[in-house]
Structure 1
Amino acid sequence: MRLGLICLVWLVSCASALAGPWPREKGSFFTSASVESPEDGDTRELYYSAYAEYGMTDWLTLGFDGGTDYYTNGEGYAFARVPIPVELGPHKFAVLGGVGARMDESTLMERIYVLGASWGMGFESPLGPGWATLDGTLRHRRTSDSRLAKLDATLGLNRESGQLWFAQLRYSNDTLAEEPIWEVAPSIAWPLWGAAKLETSASFGLQGSDQIKLKLGLWLEF
Structure 2
Amino acid sequence: MRFLIACLCFLCSASLADAGPWSREHRQIFTASGGNFLLSEGAKLPVNYDPTFYAEYGLNGLVTLGVDYHTADQGRIQAAVFFASFPIGEPIAPNTWSAHIGLGGRVDPLNPAEHLTRGGVSWGRGLDQGWLAIDTSATYGDIDQVFRSKADFTWGHHLSDRWTVVSQLQTGQGYDDDTYAKVNPSLIFHINEKYSISLGAVKALTGDRGSALKLDLWSTATIPQFRAED
Kindly state the Cα deviation for residue 154 of structure 1 after the two structures are TM-superposed: 0.3
Tell me if the contact between 1:34 and 1:216 (Cα under 8 Å) persists in the aligned partners.
Answer: yes
Tell me if the contact between 1:39 and 1:214 (Cα under 8 Å) persists in the aligned partners.
Answer: no
Aligned length: 202
Tell me if the contact between 2:162 and 2:191 (Cα under 8 Å) persists in the aligned partners.
Answer: no
Tell me if the contact between 1:20 and 1:120 (Cα under 8 Å) persists in the aligned partners.
Answer: yes
1:50 aligned onto 2:72: no
RMSD: 2.2
Deviation above 4 Å: which 4+ runs of structure 1?
Answer: 40-43, 69-72
Tell me if the contact between 2:70 and 2:79 (Cα under 8 Å) persists in the aligned partners.
Answer: yes
Kindly state the Cα deviation for residue 194 of structure 1 after the two structures are TM-superposed: 3.5
Distance in 1 between residues matched to 2:75 and 2:165, nearest whole Å: 32
**Identity between Structure 1 and Structure 2 (%):** 27
Distance in 2 between residues matched to 1:71 and 1:36, nearest whole Å: 12
Tell me if the contact between 2:29 and 2:55 (Cα under 8 Å) persists in the aligned partners.
Answer: yes
Kindly state the Cα deviation for residue 215 of structure 1 after the two structures are TM-superposed: 1.3
Tell me if the contact between 1:35 and 1:217 (Cα under 8 Å) persists in the aligned partners.
Answer: yes
Task: String of CA shifts for 1:8-67, please: whole Å, max 9, x gaps.
Answer: xxxxxxx85241111000011011111223234999x52211010000011100000012
Q: TM-score, normalised by structure 1?
A: 0.83
Distance in 2 between residues matched to 1:88 and 1:194, nearest whole Å: 28
Distance in 2 between residues matched to 1:179 and 1:189, nearest whole Å: 31
Tell me if the contact between 1:182 and 1:209 (Cα under 8 Å) persists in the aligned partners.
Answer: no
1:102 aligned onto 2:106: yes
* Greater RCO (Cα-Cα under 8 Å, separation 6 or more): 2
* Unaligned residue ranges in structure 2 (runs of 5+): 1-14, 222-230
* Unaligned residue ranges in structure 1 (runs of 5+): 1-14
1:198 aligned onto 2:197: yes
Aligned match of 1:12: none
1:19 aligned onto 2:22: no
Distance in 2 between residues matched to 1:144 and 1:29, nearest whole Å: 34
